Structure 1
Amino acid sequence: MDVREKTPGFTTEPMGNKPPSDDVSEENVPHHRGHGESHLQTIGGGSGHRSYGPTDKLDRYLSSKPIISFGLTLQASWEALAISFQSALLNGGPSTLVYGSILSAFGSTAMAATLGELASMKPCVGAQYRWTALLAPRGTNPRFWGYLQGWLTTFAWNAACALNPFLMASIIQGCIILCSESYVPAGWHTTLLAYASMAVPIFCNIYARHIIAPIEIASAILHVLLLIVFVVVLTCMARRSTSDFVFQTSFFGISGWPSGTEGIQWSVGLLTVIFPIGGYDAILHMADEVREPKRRVPQAMVGSTSLSALVMFVFVIVLLFCIGDVDKVSSTTTGLPIIETLYEATGSKAGTVFMVMCIYFIIGASQFNILASVSRLAWAFAKDGGLPFSAQLSKVSPTLRIPVNAVIMTSSVCLLINLIPIGSTTAFYALTSLSTLALYFSYCVPATLILLRKLENNFPAYGPWKIAGPYWWGLMVNIFAFAWGWYCVFCLCMPTFMPATAATLNWAGPILAAVIVIAITQWFISGRRNFVLPKDEVDDE
């Protein structure tokens, strides 16, 4: 018998045998009784599972609006695109931005919905690595697959956590370059500005966790209001592009790719519209602090991703109609094309700086959320013995009611990574581009495994949330998510510029391979002894 068939809360009854239940009361939550053959006793070896007392749990205080706002603010979709669309201009041009945004919207929402079904069945902070272990192919070691997935997801989110401070530092430097032609940016300037940008998110994550809910709602409202302000300013003041430029123009060959590779170039440019609405699994890593997570977590994932995709598409259309001189924008000395676009539109350095600093504020709020999510992921993985110093990282402060050590560790890794720009901006970009690649890889694995289960008619019973419509429609969404996810993995491994040299090569693929090798090595050194999946107990209070 496959041990996964005995996993409480994640049964493998054929579809339709068990209707979704909305009852998540304590008496309906399955528990191990300390005897018999449990799934985790089988795969864990020895005692087989860890039990955690009340002091190891987090308080549930996030309801629907704050957690949806959490996702919206964390993705900061139109703001992220505003400071990174230069890559798409060089690889595909306007067609990549317009039609790539539509493709990314459907693909990302489909993937969020696919993961949402898993979240409704088993909402847990570990998410991808727990699901991968539970759905691992028969005849393999589920703990190994869960451990490997845990390393990939944790590493990816730590890289993502380091990216936002770098972007915030780049915004400040771009504004200084705009206002002072004599300023010469240096790598150590970027590092110090990134450190300064991290101060408030670190402090608030440790000492002011209960302001997360109001901050999320306020930031989400500002996220939408600022979009309206940008739309009004650009449409009223900027020189207009033609509709042919927006909807029928493509740029190929600018980045050095040879003729005949237009499809690859277009795919490479998709990075600009993929990463702004990725990261929806961050909501999953807050599951222990969400009320009624079986329902609200998947709703928030799909809802925030759909809304983020919509506002990103609106911004793309407005941006392209009001972009100004494309050559000047793509080669701006500020390093950020949105600064050049706003300056051409307004003619005011002060006005441009003010609007760009509004983006800085939203990205800062996003960093607050990312740090919270990554620290919870590290805490969960440490509880399962997946990280070095797990005993310390798995502790929850009895007074602050948060995993303080995990927050400090995540912040320290973020600060260390931001030392890289001192020596090489290219190396830093390579490391941070890994975050999107590794995250999509972490999405693809459980999406593939659950699709195989559906095709075998051996799919776990649904939770209270599932993809609306008949079974065949949900299956089509899962298939599309599977295809989209692996396509993104392919795109994210391709170099942006050709010919590929040490300076221009996209190092995300090689770095991902190196992380996999390190994780496998660590598994044989200590992981196979220390990594034990916990008792499969869902607390839906």
Structure 2
Amino acid sequence: MSRAAADTTSLKRSLGIPTLVVFGLAYLVPMTVFTTYGIVNEITGGYLSSAYLLTLLAVLFTAISYATLSRKITSAGSAYAYTRQGFGPKVGFLTGWTVMIDYVLLPMLNYLLIGVYLTQQFPAVPGWVFALLALVVVTGLNIVGIDAVKSANVVIIALQAVFFVVFFAIAAQSFQPGVNAFDPFVRGDFNLAAVTAGAAILCLSFLGFDAISTMAEEARDPQRTIPRAIVTTTVIAGVFFIAVSWVAYMTFPEVITGEGADSAALSMLAHLGGNLLTSLFLAAYVTGAMGSALASQASVSRIMYSMGRDRVLPHRVFGTLSQRFRTPTGAILVVAVISISAVFSSVDFVASIVSFGALTAFSLVNLSVISVFLIKKNVPGKKSIFIHGCLPTIGFALTVWLWTSLSLTTLVVGLCWIAVGLLYLIWLTRGFKRPVPEMTTP
């Protein structure tokens, strides 16, 4: 194949470490700390900071596993590509299938939240109108190309940064007297089971590092940039979430329960800064949700492109790139069509299913490190045992611990989705008589 022909059928490499980190931060949305603020505070009894600390610990080990595998596997596909290397194409397919529900529903969740919050500000306009407008804008930017996504993410992160500067400036002058600095983490009524249940929900907030691995075919020097961006994004996000939740408790230690839990963040912000701060919050939150939808739709379209290129999904729809923009337009449009159902969905339900998909993928990626480096490649040495054995084992144990803390309904729905994927795999391989197509690298 000529160089010119190859250039029209491969993804454009234009992303460095700073851009990848911004992409990851835009994906996880710093404002999401307020989305789960009231719910997790209620579940944990006011230990939101402890829940974030536990989640960061679990996710950091998993992020190291992603980073380790990304040095060896530089094709698009994220957990799908990694588990194919670790356990073969069948497990790889089921992992990709599970991750798809995670990524496909995340744009929907963001469109749903945009509609909910803007309708509160402009009650005369139905929420679905705002959700649909956001969907059209995000889909258009993704079709135009990754450079448009990159530019939009910088603006979105900057706008959220303005809100947090104001938030921290006001909060620094509003700490409640008598509240100990360690109270957000440990008090007399600390309940580990409750904190773990809250931490399982908070895994949704850390999906940005996972999304970075899907951009491997558009990163410069991916064996260096992708691993560093993954770990950097995870640490920045975790420290930031812990800091925000700690400051929030120091200024507003009250735990709102019942129906008021969903809007507890607004109550806390109104207590701190009145209408001015809550209005600024609304603007920053909606902008952040747009950024997350932008990044998540870009990521899932590339996972679908990778699977379509392998003919695991229909090649004509998913496995081709736009000749003009060199983006997976078919996959992008499929995600957009699915996201239209945000009009009929529940925030709580979608969020819980996203967490199921994330934790399932995290667990399998940790195991893939062990399979690839210790079993298949048999990399010798104490350092290898520590990096490729001990660290992923701890990551696997922590993610499974959080996974079992999800609600029974979430587990049942998630496992049913995996069962549907298994049935499709059986049909695809004609009862496993045909092999699942091997992973290809452009």
TM-score normalised by L of structure 1:
0.73
Residue 365 of structure 2 corresponds to 446
Q: For residue 224 of structure 1, report the CA deviation from its aligned partner.
A: 3.9
Conservation of the 8 A alpha-carbon contact between 1:278 and 1:436: no
Q: Of Structure 1 and Structure 2, which has the larger fraction of its residues in helix? A: 2
Residue 402 of structure 2 corresponds to 488
Q: Whole-Å Cα distance in 2 between the matches of residues 170 and 241 of structure 1?
A: 36
- Of 497, 520, 530, the residue aligned with 2:422 is 520
Q: Whole-Å Cα distance in 1 between the matches of residues 400 and 321 of structure 2?
A: 37
What RMSD, in angstroms, separates the aligned Cα atoms of the two structures?
Answer: 2.9
- Of 153, 159, 162, the residue aligned with 2:108 is 162
Gap change, CA 1:342 and 1:371, over 3 Å in 2: same
Which deviates further from its counterpart, 204-213 or 311-320? 204-213
How big is each residue's C-alpha offset from its partner over 1:189-210, in whole Å with a ceiling of 9 and x where there is no partner?
3433322222321121112532
Q: Whole-Å Cα distance in 2 between the matches of residues 228 and 431 of structure 1?
A: 30
Amino acid at match of 2:184: V
Gap change, CA 1:513 and 1:205, over 3 Å in 2: same
Conservation of the 8 A alpha-carbon contact between 1:73 and 1:365: yes
Which deviates further from its counterpart, 85-94 or 507-516? 85-94
Q: For residue 112 of structure 1, report the CA deviation from its aligned partner.
A: 0.6
Residue 353 of structure 2 corresponds to 434
Amino acid at match of 2:82: W
1:515 match: secondary structure: helix
Q: For residue 131 of structure 1, report the CA deviation from its aligned partner.
A: 2.3
Which deviates further from its counterpart, 68-77 or 225-234? 225-234
Residue 227 of structure 1 corresponds to 164
Residue 33 of structure 2 corresponds to 81
Residue 173 of structure 1 corresponds to 119
Q: For residue 213 of structure 1, report the CA deviation from its aligned partner.
A: 2.8
How big is each residue's C-alpha offset from its partner over 1:110-144, in whole Å with a ceiling of 9 and x where there is no partner?
111111111110122123222222222xxxxx332
Q: Whole-Å Cα distance in 1 between the matches of residues 244 and 283 of structure 2?
A: 17
Amino acid at match of 1:76: V
Amino acid at match of 2:220: R
Gap change, CA 1:247 and 1:289, over 3 Å in 2: closer
Residue 303 of structure 1 corresponds to 232
How big is each residue's C-alpha offset from its partner over 1:10-42, in whole Å with a ceiling of 9 and x where there is no partner?
xxxxxxxxxxxxxxxxxxxxxxxxxxxxxxxxx
- Of 401, 413, 430, the residue aligned with 1:511 is 413
5 Å-filtered alignment, 1:117-516, equals 117-136=68-87, 142-175=88-121, 189-207=126-144, 209-237=146-174, 242-243=179-180, 245-249=183-187, 262-323=191-252, 325-327=254-256, 330-331=257-258, 335-347=262-274, 349-387=275-313, 389-416=314-341, 418-421=342-345, 425=346, 429-452=348-371, 456=375, 458-459=377-378, 470-471=383-384, 473-474=386-387, 475-491=389-405, 493-494=406-407, 506-516=408-418
Q: For residue 370 of structure 1, report the CA deviation from its aligned partner.
A: 1.0
5 Å-filtered alignment, 1:5-44, equals none
Q: For residue 105 of structure 1, report the CA deviation from its aligned partner.
A: 1.6
2:54 match: secondary structure: helix
Residue 11 of structure 1 corresponds to none
Conservation of the 8 A alpha-carbon contact between 2:26 and 2:208: no
Gap change, CA 1:83 and 1:534, over 3 Å in 2: closer
Conservation of the 8 A alpha-carbon contact between 2:54 and 2:199: no
2:172 match: secondary structure: helix
Q: For residue 54 of structure 1, report the CA deviation from its aligned partner.
A: 4.7
Q: Whole-Å Cα distance in 2 between the matches of residues 341 and 332 of structure 1?
A: 15
Residue 71 of structure 1 corresponds to 24
Q: For residue 454 of structure 1, report the CA deviation from its aligned partner.
A: 5.0
Q: For residue 174 of structure 1, report the CA deviation from its aligned partner.
A: 4.1
Larger Rg: 1
Amino acid at match of 2:309: K
Q: For residue 331 of structure 1, report the CA deviation from its aligned partner.
A: 4.8
Gap change, CA 1:408 and 1:333, over 3 Å in 2: same
Gap change, CA 1:514 and 1:359, over 3 Å in 2: same
Gap change, CA 1:87 and 1:58, over 3 Å in 2: same
Gap change, CA 1:530 and 1:162, over 3 Å in 2: farther
TM-score normalised by L of structure 2:
0.89
Residue 255 of structure 1 corresponds to none
Conservation of the 8 A alpha-carbon contact between 2:55 and 2:200: no
How big is each residue's C-alpha offset from its partner over 1:325-363, in whole Å with a ceiling of 9 and x where there is no partner?
433xx456594221111112223x244112232122122
Q: Whole-Å Cα distance in 1 between the matches of residues 330 and 188 of structure 2?
A: 49
Conservation of the 8 A alpha-carbon contact between 2:159 and 2:284: no
Gap change, CA 1:103 and 1:265, over 3 Å in 2: closer
Q: How many residues align?
A: 433
Gap change, CA 1:461 and 1:72, over 3 Å in 2: farther
Conservation of the 8 A alpha-carbon contact between 2:46 and 2:253: no
Conservation of the 8 A alpha-carbon contact between 1:84 and 1:337: no
How big is each residue's C-alpha offset from its partner over 1:288-318, in whole Å with a ceiling of 9 and x where there is no partner?
1111111111111111111111111110111
Q: For residue 247 of structure 1, report the CA deviation from its aligned partner.
A: 3.8
- Of 105, 108, 111, the residue aligned with 2:62 is 111
- Structure 2 unaligned regions, length at least 5: none
Residue 532 of structure 1 corresponds to 437
1:91 match: secondary structure: helix
Q: Whole-Å Cα distance in 2 between the matches of residues 460 and 368 of structure 1?
A: 39
Conservation of the 8 A alpha-carbon contact between 1:283 and 1:297: yes
Amino acid at match of 2:26: T
Amino acid at match of 1:171: Y
- Structure 1 unaligned regions, length at least 5: 1-51, 137-141, 177-182, 253-261, 463-468, 495-505
Gap change, CA 1:248 and 1:432, over 3 Å in 2: closer
Q: For residue 461 of structure 1, report the CA deviation from its aligned partner.
A: 9.7
